[in-house]
């Protein structure tokens, strides 16, 4: 069966900031050509090395508001002072082309996506081994102030309380082990 003869299913990776979901997502994208990243939109400024249209669509507040009014998002939310959203058009374009869209999103948005797509989506919650490890990872980024670090850690505690709502939980203590566990989860999903 080729890509145009089937509709892809959605893979949703969920994790607190700093748990490693973006690194794990990139590994999936490198290994599986049938999985494509669904680029989200945000009002936050780009980080060093991020590319417009690849990492995110970087929008100003007015552009983002117009897109909300036009129902362009599957979900959107405020996070650490910025808005983030999953574009319905990005996901639909990939699904209709037979790809498996990969969504790298936060808990609230992931729950909304799962409600919309039901069994056409599989969700994996990436958990840090501990809050201390998460704190170290966030500090290592070098992009957090004491205030933003505190907010991210408070948010992470709340998000981890929702882990049970997702299909699978993978603890990212060792990147290679976590990646192999994710591969084991998604392979039957993308080959059925």
> What residues form the annotated binding site for ATP?
15-22
Contact between 57 and 87 under an 8 Å Cβ cutoff? The reply is yes
Paired tokens of 101: 């869209």
* Cα 66 versus chain centre, distance: 23
- Binding-site residues sit at 15-22
Q: Which residues contact 86 (CB under 8 A, 6 or more apart)?
A: 38, 40, 73, 74, 75, 76, 103, 105, 109, 113
Whole-angstrom distance, CA of residue 46 vs CA of residue 100: 26
Of 103, 105, 86, nearest to 9 by C-alpha is 103
Whole-angstrom distance, CA of residue 25 vs CA of residue 167: 17
Task: Give Dmax (Cα) for the chain.
Answer: 52
**Which 8-state DSSP code applies to residue 52?**
B
């Amino acid at each position: 069966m080729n890509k145009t003869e089937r509709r892809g299913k959605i893979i949703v990776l969920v994790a607190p900031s700093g748990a490693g979901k973006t690194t794990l997502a990139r590994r999936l994208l490198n290994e599986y050509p049938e999985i494509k990243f669904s680029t989200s939109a945000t009002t936050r400024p780009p980080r060093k090395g991020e590319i417009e249209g690849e990492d995110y669509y970087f929008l100003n507040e007015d552009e983002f508001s117009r897109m909300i009014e036009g129902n362009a998002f599957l979900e959107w939310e405020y996070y650490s002072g910025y808005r983030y959203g999953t574009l319905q058009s990005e996901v639909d374009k990939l699904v209709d082309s037979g790809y498996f869209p990969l969504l790298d999103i936060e808990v609230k948005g992931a729950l909304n996506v799962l409600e919309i797509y039901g069994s056409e989506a599989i969700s994996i919650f990436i958990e840090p081994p501990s809050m201390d490890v998460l704190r170290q990872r966030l500090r290592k980024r070098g992009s957090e102030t004491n205030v933003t670090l505190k907010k991210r850690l408070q948010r992470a505690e709340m998000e981890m309380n929702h882990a049970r709502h997702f299909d699978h939980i993978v603890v990212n203590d060792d990147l290679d082990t976590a990646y192999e566990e994710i591969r084991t989860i998604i392979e039957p999903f993308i080959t059925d």
